[in-house]
Amino acid sequence: MKITVIGAGRVGSSVALNCSLRELGDVMLLDIVEGLPQGEAMDINHQLAERGIDFTVSGSNNYEDMKGSEFVVVVAGVSRKPGMTRMDLLKTNADIVKGVCNKIKAFAHDSKIVVVTNPLDPLTYLVIKSLQGQRNKIMGMGGMLDLSRFKEHISTVTRISRESIQAMVISEHGENMLPLVRFSSMGGIPLSEFITPEQSEDLATKTKKIAAEVISLKGATVYAPGNAVSTMVESIVKNKRTILPVSALLEGEYGYSDVCIGVPCVLGNEGIEKIIELKLNENELEVFDLGIQSVKSAIRSFSL
C-alpha cells in the first residue's frame, strides 16, 4: 500500500505520521517547497524506527514520485488564519487544487482520494468533477474532524470516558455543521439521558466554534485532522466497513443531487460503499439545507 500526501506542512505531516503509526502502508510526502517533505520524512522515520514500525515515509518535490499510489490525500493549499472563515480560502485554494488534480490525472488516476484542503465540501466536489471520478473513490475529511471535536465536548460535559461515546456530525464542514445529539449515545444509552436541552445547544455551538479558537491560539489545527484522515484510510485499507461521517457526492440521497456534503458513510475496500440516509427532524433538516445551499453557492463561484 502506497499513500501519497500532497502538502507536507503541519497537517500533511500529521497525516503521514498517523497513517504510519497505524501501519497502513508506505507514505510519500510531496511538496513544492524544497527540503520540507524530505526533512519531515526523516523526522517521522526516526520515530517509526524506535517503535519498530517497518513502513517508511519518503519526501519528494517531484509529482512523478506519486506513481503507484493507492491513496492520495490532498492537503495542499493556504491555511485558515485567525478571523477567516473556511469559505474565505475558496478562490486561492480552488486554483491550487485544480493544479493538483492535473498531477493526479497524470500520475495516480486510479487512486482513492481524500480531500483535506478547505473549504472542504466545495473542493471535494471540484476534485470529483475535475477528475471525472467515481464518487465512491473521492471523499472529503470534514465530518470526521468535526466528530472528534464533538466527542471531546461530550466527554467534558458528561465527565464520562471518551471510550463510551458514539456520536455523529453531518452537513457542511463549516458554519452550518450539524452535531446530532439525537443520534449520539454513551455506552448505548441516548446522549439525551445525560445532558439537558440547554447543554445540547451549547455542545452544538462549541463544536462549530472550536476550530476558530484553536487557530487563534496556535495558528492551525494539526493533530486531529491527521488522525481523522488516517481513520478513514484505515477503514478502507482494512475493509473494516466502519460508519464514518465524510463529505460525499449526493445523487438523490437526502433529496439533493450534484453537491458534496458531510453524511454518514460505510467505508470499505471500494471506498464509500454506502451512504446512510438518516431520518432527520424538521430542525435538523433546516440546518442541513443551510449547509447544502452554502456549498452550492461556493460551487457556483468557481469554474470547472
Q: Which of 95, 43, 57, 97 is nearest to 74 (CA)?
A: 97
Name the pLDDT band for 101 (thresholds 50, 70, 90). very high
Please say whether the beta carbons of 93 and 119 come within 8 A.
Answer: yes
Residue 102 has pLDDT above 90, yes or no: yes
What's residue 141's pLDDT?
96
Q: Peptide bond before 122: cis, by omega within 30 degrees of 0?
A: no
- pLDDT tens, 154-173? 999 999 999 999 999 999 99
Return d(Cα 172, Cα 269) in angstroms, integer.
25
What rounded mean pLDDT belongs to the chain? 95
Longest dimension (CA), the chain: 54
**Opening angle at CA 117, ends 112 and 121, nearest 5:** 80
Residue with cell 490532498: 74
- Annotated catalytic residues are 173
Residue 82 has pLDDT above 90, yes or no: no
Residue 256, CA distances (Å) to 61, 140, 251, 252, 263 in order: 40, 17, 7, 5, 12
Residue 44 has pLDDT above 90, yes or no: yes
Return d(Cα 101, Cα 155) in angstroms, integer.
39
Compute the average pLDDT of residues 46-64. Answer: 98
What's residue 79's pLDDT?
79
Return d(Cα 203, Cα 192) in angstroms, integer.
12
- pLDDT tens, 267-288? 999 999 999 999 999 999 999 9
**How far is Cα of residue 55 from the mean position of the Cα atoms in its chain?**
23
User: Pairing mode, if any, of strands 177-179 and 169-171?
Assistant: antiparallel
Residue 145, amino acid: L
Residue with cell 455506552: 187
Name the pLDDT band for 121 (thresholds 50, 70, 90). very high
Residue 133 CB-density burial (10 A; 0-12 exposed, 13-18 middle, 19+ buried): buried
Residue 59, amino acid: G
Helix intervals (H) in the chain: 10-21, 36-51, 90-107, 120-131, 142-158, 197-218, 223-237, 282-300
Q: What's this model's pTM, rounded to 2 decimal places?
A: 0.95
Task: List b or e across 31-51, with b for residues whose CB sees 16 or more CB atoms inside 10 angstroms.
Answer: beeeebbbebbeebbeebeee
Question: Which three cell numbers mark 121?
Answer: 465540501
Return d(Cα 163, Cα 155) in angstroms, integer.
9
Contacts of 132-138 with CB under 8 Å at 24 or more apart are 134/271, 135/248, 135/249, 135/251, 135/272, 136/270, 136/271, 136/272, 136/273, 137/111, 137/112, 137/113, 137/270, 137/271, 137/272, 138/112, 138/113, 138/249, 138/271
Domains belonging to the chain, first-starting first, are 2-141 (3.40.50.720), 143-300 (3.90.110.10)
SS3 state at 245 = strand
Residue 212 has pLDDT above 90, yes or no: no
Comparing 96 with 83, the larger pLDDT belongs to 96
